[in-house]
Amino acid sequence: MTPALATSPAEYFPISRRRSSGTTTQTASKLETFVAVAVEHARQNANDWRTLCRDLVEMIARENSVLGWDGYGALPISVAAKHYAQRFIDGLPFNIPAPEVMPDPDGEVALCWDFGPGKILTLAFGATGMISYAGLLGGGVKRHGMEPFKDTIPKVLLETLNELRSRAGYAG
């Protein structure tokens, strides 16, 4: 099931919002129960990628925690970089697709979204709490910079992810 289903069940299952003026039949009641269960299942599954993504950040940080992990002198992934990346993942809306998680040789954790040709965004989380980002939004539009990460995802990054998602034709 798609995240769009989880956000708008009435759009996909209009029967779940309607009641006949007469008595509800046993079949209609069973169907409404089925739809309610399906919608709840979709809502839960829409969020499942966050847990998997957090676990992947944990694994990458552990596997790349020593100096030279890449064979060329890469810095170890810091515990702080791992925590910032995981907190960022926790704060993402469910309609944003899961990113790829990669270690960076300068000790950072990178999250990368590839929405197709010319539509990509990479965020790098270091030990200081700053997020470095660079993206191509399609149509020659580029966006890059650095943003502090405190308790909420910086507005410019959410807007960029939503713009990429929209340009790539993702529902939700």
Mean pLDDT of 126-143: 94
- Read off the pLDDT band of 151 (50, 70, 90): confident
In degrees rounded to 5, what are phi and psi of residue 124? -125, 130
- This prediction has a pTM of 0.72
Q: What is the pLDDT of residue 40?
A: 58
- Read off the pLDDT band of 3 (50, 70, 90): very low
Distances (CA, A) of 28 to 7, 18, 33, 114, 134: 22, 10, 9, 43, 51
CA 33-37-43 angle, to 5 degrees, is: 145
Instruction: Round the average pLDDT of the chain to a whole number and report it.
Output: 84
Q: What is the pLDDT of residue 23?
A: 55
Residue ranges per structural domain of the chain: 48-167
Structure tokens at 66: 């020593």
Mean pLDDT of 154-162: 95
Q: What is the pLDDT of residue 7?
A: 45
